[in-house]
Amino acid sequence: MSTFSDRLKLTIEKRGTTQRWVAEQAGVRESTISRYISEKNAPAILDILAGISTALNVSSDYLIGLTNIPTKTKTGESGEVLRLIRCFERMLPEDKAVLWALCNKYETEKR
């Protein structure tokens, strides 16, 4: 199975939903989703999109407008984490001190 097929099937299962529901939400026929999962048909745009995003070192989510964060991460950081990093980089030293104090509280707190 291709990565797309595997991940599509796994995600549908993990979410506890159906191919029919995904098809309705995506505006396609259920048979289209079924063919993607069984690899009888794969959207050709995936290969093109993967190639372009790799060449430009940006995420495919960025290229199709799902996020405004162009960074392609290899470590799995979420957009939220990347946003925090960008903000931290622009902080004044006194603001960083406040943030570090807050982080220290959570690092030492027993859960």
Q: What is the pLDDT of residue 43?
A: 74
Q: What is the pTM of this model?
A: 0.54
Question: Residue 46 contacts by C-beta under 8 Å, 6 or more apart in sequence?
Answer: 4
Q: What is the pLDDT of residue 94?
A: 92
Do 42 and 32 form a contact (C-beta atoms < 8 A)? no
Q: Average pLDDT of 76-102?
A: 82
Tell me which residue of 61, 86, 83, 81 sits closest to 72, measured CA to CA: 61
Confidence of residue 72 (pLDDT cuts 50, 70, 90): low
Q: Average pLDDT of 67-84?
A: 70
Instruction: For 13-69, write each residue's pLDDT tens digit.
Output: 988 889 999 999 888 899 989 998 988 877 778 878 888 888 777 888 888 888 877
